[in-house]
């Protein structure tokens, strides 16, 4: 076990009490994957966890103490410790729980069998729901009755597809799939932020395309996106090297126009950066999809206007579609621009025009627009002679 885990287990060791590693970190360890999150569950009450941590000199943060969760920080790494719980009442969004001491009942309240595994301080694996067999078979299966699990927390509907995309093989579990379809109306009760987070996590999973195809076939994708997904474009982006991130994949799947980007921002509470990425993708898509061909000489103006990365993402998504055809020279130029991380900048400023006698205000704006149009049409030159030509064009447009 990792040093931090051992320190937590030693700190929480007490007569008549037990603490185990639980959930994803155990599952991932069985797959030979280093877990990013360390979760422990204990019979100790949260106030006892806090007290024992202080005595041991560990930093303890009451991150969710009302729900029994305390985060212990060891060597800068968080370890989440939660007191065993039992559900008292659930409404699909929130659960009323009470603290317990039964590891079996705690496992039974979790979502999937592969997430209910636990490992005790002696290294013994505990599996009361068949999670080990399901993990080996690539089967994501709800614990107990699938419909009941989803009624307890509607987010499990989306988690079912996300976990299948990450750990599943073959078709989704039939009972889980039927329960998800039957519970489709519960998606409307979820916060948009939770839906957005699950969708973005799903899109970077190894079998994201298959999982999204299942969502589409069942009508659930239409419910989530408010539109039909572009599965082919998603597949191309998922196969790209180097890999495209979740936002780029989401744009390929869900965005066809600028209106889509605006609607999705409102529907899924996208961050400002995500909204900007989707809008940039939409703008680049609009211009590229209407061009029969892109040549090397077109690239500087396109990069200056839309940025290299949005162009690259759109062209990956459009690969194999009738338009546009990208020449080898254009592809090389775009790769070079993306690698540099920069974009051409108009070598004329408003200050240049004011220094030449143009009064501040609308005349400067008109001059800069004229200079920029000429600059883009000329391939974005930045040399001194080109700068003088651009200034001359700006002065002409600014008027007397």
What are the residues whose beta carbons fall under 8 Å from the beta carbon of 233, sequence distance 6 or more? 252, 253, 317, 318
- pLDDT at residue 93 is higher than 70: no
CB atoms within 10 A of CB 360: 11
Question: In which band, very low, low, confident or very high, does the pLDDT at 399 lie, cut at 50, 70 and 90?
Answer: confident
Average pLDDT over residues 27-47: 92
Q: What is the pTM of this model?
A: 0.88
Predicted local confidence at residue 75, as pLDDT? 86
Average pLDDT over residues 117-130: 95
Q: What percent of the chain has pLDDT over 70?
A: 97
Q: What is the chain's alpha carbon radius of gyration, rounded to the nearest angstrom?
A: 28
Read off φ and ψ for residue 343, nearest 5 degrees. -140, 150
Q: Is 242 helix (H, G, I), strand (E, B) or coil?
A: coil
Q: What is the pLDDT of residues 199-249, one digit of tens each?
A: 999 999 999 999 999 999 999 999 999 989 999 999 999 999 989 999 999
Q: Is 98 helix (H, G, I), strand (E, B) or coil?
A: strand
Q: What is the pLDDT of residues 253-312, one digit of tens each?
A: 999 999 999 999 999 999 999 999 999 999 999 999 889 999 999 999 999 999 999 999
Predicted local confidence at residue 88, as pLDDT? 59
Predicted local confidence at residue 94, as pLDDT? 53
d(CA 389, CA 378): 11
What are the residues whose beta carbons fall under 8 Å from the beta carbon of 69, sequence distance 6 or more? 46, 63, 80, 81, 82, 83
Q: What is the pLDDT of residues 61-85, one digit of tens each?
A: 998 888 899 999 998 899 999 999 8
Sequence-ordered strand ranges (E) for 278-340? 293-294, 325-326
Whether 239 contacts 206, CB under 8 Å: no
- pLDDT at residue 386 is higher than 50: yes
- pLDDT at residue 106 is higher than 50: yes
CB atoms within 10 A of CB 133: 13
Predicted local confidence at residue 92, as pLDDT? 46
Q: What is the pLDDT of residues 291-303, one digit of tens each?
A: 999 999 999 999 9
Whole-number average pLDDT of the chain? 93
22: enclosing H helix or E strand? strand 19-22
Predicted local confidence at residue 4, as pLDDT? 87
Q: Domains (ranges, CATH) in the chain?
A: 1-137 (3.30.460.10), 278-340 (no CATH), 350-398 (no CATH)
DSSP string, 116-168: --EEETT--EE-SSSHHHHHHHT---BSS-HHHHHHHBTHHHHHHHHHHHHH-
- pLDDT at residue 98 is higher than 90: no
Q: What is the pLDDT of residues 187-203, one digit of tens each?
A: 999 999 999 999 999 99
Question: In which band, very low, low, confident or very high, does the pLDDT at 90 lie, cut at 50, 70 and 90?
Answer: low
d(CA 110, CA 143): 7
């Amino acid at each position: 076990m990792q040093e931090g885990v051992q320190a937590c287990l030693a700190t929480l060791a007490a007569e008549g009490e037990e603490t185990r590693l639980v959930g994803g970190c155990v599952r991932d360890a069985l797959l030979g994957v280093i877990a990013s999150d360390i979760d422990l569950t204990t019979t100790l009450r949260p106030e006892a966890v806090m007290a024992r941590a202080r005595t041991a000199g560990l930093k303890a943060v009451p991150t969710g103490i009302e729900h029994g969760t305390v985060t212990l920080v060891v060597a800068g790494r968080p370890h989440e410790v939660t007191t065993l719980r039992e559900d008292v009442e659930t409404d699909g969004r929130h659960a009323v729980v009470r603290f317990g001491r039964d590891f079996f009942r705690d496992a039974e309240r979790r979502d999937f069998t592969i997430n209910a595994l636990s490992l005790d301080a002696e290294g013994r694996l505990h599996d009361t729901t068949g999670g080990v067999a399901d993990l080996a078979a690539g089967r994501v299966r709800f614990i107990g009755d699938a419909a009941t699990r989803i009624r307890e927390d509607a987010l499990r509907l989306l988690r079912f597809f996300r976990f299948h995309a990450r750990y599943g093989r073959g078709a989704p579990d039939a009972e889980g799939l039927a329960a998800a379809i039957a519970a489709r109306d519960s998606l409307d009760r979820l916060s948009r932020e939770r839906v957005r987070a699950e969708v973005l996590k799903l899109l970077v999973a190894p079998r994201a395309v298959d999982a999204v195809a299942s969502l589409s076939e069942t009508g659930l994708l239409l419910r989530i996106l408010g539109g039909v997904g572009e599965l082919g474009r998603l597949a191309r982006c998922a196969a790209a090297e180097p890999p495209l991130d979740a936002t780029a994949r989401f744009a390929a799947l869900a965005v066809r126009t600028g209106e889509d980007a605006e609607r999705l921002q409102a529907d899924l509470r996208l961050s400002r950066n995500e909204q900007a990425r989707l809008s940039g993708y939409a703008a680049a898509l609009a211009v590229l999809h209407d061009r029969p061909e892109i040549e090397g000489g077109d690239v500087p103006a396109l990069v200056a206007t839309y940025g290299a990365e949005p162009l690259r993402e759109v062209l990956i998504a459009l690969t194999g579609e009738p338009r546009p055809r990208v020449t080898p020279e254009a592809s090389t130029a775009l790769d070079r621009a993306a690698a540099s991380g920069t974009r051409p900048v108009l070598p004329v400023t408003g200050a240049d025009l004011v220094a030449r006698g143009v009064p501040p205000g609308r005349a400067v704006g008109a001059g800069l627009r004229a200079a920029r149009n000429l600059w883009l049409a000329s391939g974005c030159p930045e040399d001194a002679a080109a700068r003088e030509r651009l200034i001359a064009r700006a002065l002409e447009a600014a008027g007397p």
